[in-house]
Amino acid sequence: MKTMKKNVTKAKFNFNGRTLYDLLGGENIETDSIAIAEQIKNSRDANATDVTIDFSKMEENIITITDNGQGMSLEEIHDNWLTIGTSSKINDSAKLGGKGVGRFSLFRLADKISIKTSKENITYNFTIDKKSLEKNSLSDINIFQEYTNKKLGTQITLTELSKTINLYEIERGIENLVHPEHNKIHKIIYPDSYQQKDYLSPRKFLDQAPFHAVAIIEGMNIKEYKFNCLIKGETYYTNNQINNNFLSTLNKTLSMNFANNINLGEIKIEIYNFFFDRPFLSWHKGIEQTKIKNEMLEAYQGISVYRNGYKIFGHGEEDWLKLAELRLKRPGDNIDNKSTYGLVTLDPVCSISLKEKTNREGFIKSPEYTYFHETVLCIVKQVGADRRESIRNIRKLIKGNPVQPIGIRYNPDQTKKLNKAEKTVQLNNENETKKTKQTSKTDEAKNTGKTVENYPKDNNTSQTIKTDFTEQPGKKDATKKPNPVSPNKIIDISFGYSEETPHKIKDIIEELKRITNKNINSQALLLRCLIDISTQYYQTKNDIDIKKNNLPGNIRIVLNTFSDNKLLDLKAINRVRQSINKENTLQYFNGVAHDYNYRANFSDLVEIWNTFEPYITACIKP
């Protein structure tokens, strides 16, 4: 049997020029600042010590980027600049690049890119532009050579500029490009017509951030955690322990995602969180809120990730830890991205397996990224919990109640470990730690006579939350046998409150105890005010954002907090949730406040009071 002869046709990959200017350029990089940052990093990789980005002739359709780096030889131009996806930096941990495509991000800013580079007294010139690339002339690049006195350096000239270049976004995005412990090698010259923002350094305001935390993680060890609440030079809360529940959740997540045997080297996390609560600002009198928000946090907000001294993640307002979502679920327990200045510093060698996306908008999903994300998130959650405890002391401070400052209790030999084999959390010498803590607490009380009530019990902040709401706070006569509710009144006269309850809430309660349904519209309006003001009081007291003109939305947020922290019986929570979804309740909330034709129904008011009474009690409980 004869064998059929097989025909073989050779083929090769072809690239359309659009690959360079769109897929690797304008459509790949999402912001102008990232395109500029890529060029600064490339200059740094070329050992430049001076980089100038000049926008001064932008109105003349010209932008130049000049550095004093090592320049390129003809061979390096062919092998590096003109090779797509070059691997010249990929295994060099000291380099900031690695994808081999960052230079093409310039097509986001311009249609024409001219390169002039010098090395060893030879200068090379070449140009690439969209028009040529559209003709698919990838190989038709003319490189001109001339002998000069210039030894080293590169200049990139951009022409045929995009009409949508955003200088404001560039200034803001580049402001925190370099880690504060490293020196900037770049400077930016803006056009005379552009009003430069001139952001202020965070260092100017850090002493106005009452909450500060530092953590160091390596592998499966949390080597260090320190949290301090420092106000006017005095410490009002301090903690060096991670909540066991946070560690347990972390360990389970890592195990489920095959991320519990990963070591990215030492990861340092430092977080400063500001507190713009109105009573605190009025009491402190030294917080420059407007300057901090507009001249610092606008550019430095959020938690940025640095490697080799340069920011690689956390661009602009990117909330990569989803802190806003966490804050919505448990407002009082989580920090706000917009009022936070944070730095995560990576080991440049050991973290090389944590790879950036080509568009520089984050990291590639992998077990390494899961490990990194979840360990940082664990620390951030602990900061939120410690911040909550600190705020309780700040409230006392503002009211003039005694709060004894306590010293830092950090033990550098104590390391928190995640047990890989058992997939459970173990703390080194846990029993000894408890004994030592209890002993030191007692000793401090004996030696100083100070109360250290602001130190978290058992190093677990969740244990400090009171869950017993069976006893209603009240006046001295609240223990007397309750009188039955009058048939024409809403609130029983035995309903009580604490001495710390705001006077406005007290006045509304007392008025509701007094008036009858002869003044039913007054009853309706006062009851709504009581629900609204009690809700806002709890939100303000626990630093929870208040939604303007949205009482049902605010109630839902508070109910979520009650549910998460077990601050109110679940049945009572569900009754309130069901009530605010009923049409008659919503009509009441809106009508009594905004509709002059609204007529209240007494039986509806009684039902609403009976539903909301436990909720109001929980809101105003001290």
**Tens digits of residue pLDDT in 335-353:** 988 899 999 999 999 998 8
Residue type (1 letter), 280: F
Predicted confidence at residue 8, as pLDDT, reads 74
Mean pLDDT of the region 207-221: 95
Backbone angles phi, psi at 173, to 5 degrees: -70, -30
Question: What does the pLDDT read at residue 80?
Answer: 80
Kindly tell me the burial class for residue 563, based on how many C-beta atoms sit within 10 Å of its own C-beta (0-12, 13-18, 19 or more): middle
Mean of pLDDT values over 60-85: 88
Say yes or no to pLDDT of 609 above 60.
yes
Q: At what angle do helices 570-580 and 583-594 cross, to 10 degrees?
A: 60
Query: Which helix (H) or strand (E) is 212 found in, with range?
Result: strand 211-218
- Residue spans of beta strands (DSSP E) within 362-423: 416-419
Q: What is the DSSP letter of 461?
A: G
Strand 186-189 to strand 51-54: parallel, antiparallel, or no bridges (unpaired)?
parallel
pTM above 0.85, yes or no: no
Q: Mean pLDDT throughout 542-561?
A: 87
Task: Kindly provide the b/e burial profile for residues 124-158, where b requires at least 16 CB atoms within 10 angstroms of the residue's own CB.
Answer: bebbbbbeebeeeebeeeeeeeeeeebebbbbbbb
Contact between residue 428 and residue 415 where contact means Cβ atoms under 8 Å apart = yes
How sure is the predictor about 138, in pLDDT bands with cuts at 50, 70 and 90? low
DSSP state of 26: I
Average pLDDT on 282-290 reads 94
Give the residue-averaged pLDDT of 555-583. 88
Query: Is the pLDDT reported for residue 586 higher than 50?
Result: yes
Distance separating alpha carbons of residues 41 and 63, to the nearest angstrom: 18
| Banded model confidence at residue 474, pLDDT cuts 50, 70, 90 | very low
pLDDT, residue 21, reads 56
Task: Evaluate the CA torsion angle 616, 619, 620, 622 in order and state its sign.
Answer: positive
The pLDDT value given to residue 436? 42
Query: What pLDDT is recorded for position 258?
Result: 81
User: Is residue 47 left, alpha or beta, with left meaning phi > 0 and alpha meaning psi from -120 to 50?
Assistant: left
Per-residue pLDDT at 505? 92
Helices and strands (H and E) in the chain: how many: 18, 16
Amino acid at 98: G
How much is the pLDDT for 178? Answer: 95
Which residue has 């986001």 as its token pair? 108
pLDDT band at 469 (very low <50, low <70, confident <90, very high): very low
Radius of gyration of the chain (CA): 31
pLDDT at 462 over 60: no
The answer to whether the CB of 590 falls within 8 A of the CB of 550 is no
Q: 89, 54, 86, 47: which is closest to 69 by C-alpha?
A: 47
Q: Which residues pair with 304 in a beta bridge?
A: 343
Cβ neighbours for 486, distance < 8 A, ≥ 6 positions apart: 516
**Is the pLDDT score of 187 beyond 90?**
yes
Choose between 105 and 26: higher pLDDT: 105
Please say whether the beta carbons of 247 and 416 come within 8 A.
yes
- Specify the range with the lowest mean pLDDT, choosing from 266-280, 414-428, 497-511, 526-540: 414-428
- pLDDT surpassing 90 at residue 546: no
Q: How confident is the model at residue 478 (pLDDT cuts 50, 70, 90)?
A: very low
Structure tokens, 511: 């008025």
Mean pLDDT, rounded, of the chain: 80
